[in-house]
A = this chain, B = another copy of it.
Amino acid sequence: MAEAPERLAHPLHIRKMRFARGTALYRSGDRLESLYMIRSGCITEVDASSGRGNSIIGFVLPGEMLGLDNLAESRSTTTCVAVETSNACALPRSVFDVLPHAPNVAGEFIRFIAKSGILARELVTLIRDHGAIERVAGFLLNLSGRLQFRGAHDREFKLNMNRDDIAAYLGLRSETVSRCFTELDRQGLIRIRAKRVEILRYAALRRMLDREGTPAVAPHSKC
């Protein structure tokens, strides 16, 4: 008789956690027992399926959830690492045991999962169909949009990750990322100084990505 109430009270045991730079929240193959809500800092989501461990498929910013897409599987397919000292709330996956009994929530949840696929496809087209400077522009717009969504400053902000992480995410080298930042600055679209960015001409940045008349193929490679 005491059991049912306990099971309702227990699942919402939320832990606050802190992750030092370089620490993994969880690794590929881990049995995923928690969802995370990032409170501060920055997390990289690394795709482990592709041999090399530096294959960054996304950054998670404060206010965003982590681990949702792995919830359908018993084990995680990604590794998540703190780019800098980060704080997160962990909530146990058991909160989702209620799911089958709340169809409308389930629909919301499915939409959330589907969103992660849509985002991945957007990343495909950003990387595959655009040159270096456009990728960097797209990256900045992406960050800006997400900051705006959570009500933070979206025109001037700090890049928590380093150039190598940005480069790995965009399929470039850090030197190229640096040069693109410099070039966008020179063109007056942004102002950049190390990790601080200011977006000066939002619309012009956006236009770099929408160009219809572009050859539409971007990449090259070395090895």
A interface, CB within 8 angstroms of B? 47, 49-52, 54-55, 57, 69, 72-73, 77, 99-101, 103, 106-107, 109-111, 113-114, 116-118, 120-132, 167-168, 170-173, 209-212, 214-223
Contacts and interface: CB of A to CB of B under 8 A. Distances in A.
17 contacts: A47-B121, A51-B209, A52-B212, A55-B125, A55-B129, A57-B124, A73-B111, A106-B106, A109-B110, A113-B117, A124-B127, A128-B128, A171-B219, A172-B217, A217-B221, A218-B222, A219-B220
A50 B129 contact: yes
A50 to B, nearest CB: 4
A76 to B, nearest CB: 11
Contacts of A223: 131, 214-215
Contacts of A50: 122, 125-126, 129, 209
A88 to B, nearest CB: 22
A47 to B, nearest CB: 6
A212 B57 contact: no
B222 A110 contact: no
Contacts of A130: 221
Nearest to A50: B125
B117 A52 contact: no
